[in-house]
Amino acid sequence: MSPSSNRRQRWALLAVVALLVAIGRFFLRPSSSKQERTAGGTDHAATTDPKSRLRIPPRPPVAQNVQPGADHATRSSQVLPAAMQKALDDNPHLAQYYRLEQKVLPSAEERNTLRGMFADQDLIQTIKEDLLSPESTYSKEVEAKRMVAVEFLTDAVSWADNPAMGTVMDAIEGVVFAENIAADAPEDLAQSLAGDKMELYTQMLHRSPARAALLADHARGKSVEPFLTYSKDWYDRNMRGMKADERH
């Protein structure tokens, strides 16, 4: 078998692995519709739907308790799991985004701050590097950091008028297309890194389908193509099931 065929086969296997990871990672965050409060506009109307956050079958949920006297302007102000709190404490750029993203009723100033972050090319590059930093062992704290970084990029790409859209797309393609999962990577790390790629692509399918189609088009003939094909097939089945449930 040629090296190219081996790589394509491995990408197809990674797509299966990605389903095993918690892109139900969203249990680490309070759940709510984003509506159009962060970037002031998106490519896809689904962002106004309470189910706009696509959920892959998750790990068991992490217990969350509401803090007494919590800020009512933030989405339930729930206690964060330790791994997420550590990731935010260690990464102020992600902590600022996360805090603003959690606001249910952000002020005009807060919305503008988020837009500024989504258009900040240096920040976008930093977040891409967060997702591609070499790892040899799995860590819940590092996975939590990558989880927030993935959400930042999917929020940035869903803002239709983002002046840094080209940089955002380059960052997403760089992460999705990167062959950054070593053949000898521990299984939990491989699952987590594959989950980043699948989450980036499926969230784009859900929130910015036209740009997801561009991503898939750029993948044609590349070893990553089977991964995206599998992910889209899974996404389409998932959405059909959700719509069927809504009709009953």
Higher pLDDT, 211 or 14: 211
Enter the pTM of the model.
Answer: 0.76
Whether residue 171 contacts residue 128, with contact meaning beta carbons closer than 8 Å, is answered with: yes
In a domain, 73, yes or no: no
Is residue 71 in some structural domain? no
Residue-wise pLDDT for 135-157, tens only, equals 999 999 999 999 999 999 999 99
Q: Cα separation of 29 and 11, whole Å?
A: 29
Distances in whole angstroms, Cα of residue 196 to Cα of each of 5, 64, 181, 212: 23, 23, 11, 15
How far is Cα 239 from Cα 231, in angstroms, rounded to an integer? Answer: 12
Whether residue 195 contacts residue 18, with contact meaning beta carbons closer than 8 Å, is answered with yes
Answer yes or no: is 52 within a domain: yes
Q: Does 114 score more than 70 pLDDT?
A: yes
List, for residues 74-92, the tens digit of each pLDDT value: 443 456 889 999 999 999 9
User: Which residues, in sequence order, are bridge partners of residue 103?
Assistant: 74
Which residues, 6+ apart, have CB-to-CB distance to 109 below 8 Å? none
Q: What is the number of structural domains in the chain?
A: 1
Whether residue 69 lies inside any domain: the answer is: no
Q: Hey, what are 147's tokens?
A: 């989880």
Considering Cα of 171, then 172, then 174, then 175, what sign does the dihedral take? positive
pLDDT digits (tens, 9 = 90+) for 214-226: 999 999 998 889 8
Task: Give the residue numbers spanning the domain of 150.
Answer: 3-62+81-247
74 belongs to a structural domain = no
Contact 78, 65 (CB under 8 A): yes
Window from 29-33, 47-51, 193-197 with minimum mean pLDDT: 47-51
- Residue 210 covered by a domain: yes
In a domain, 76, yes or no: no
The answer to the question of residue 222 being in a domain is yes
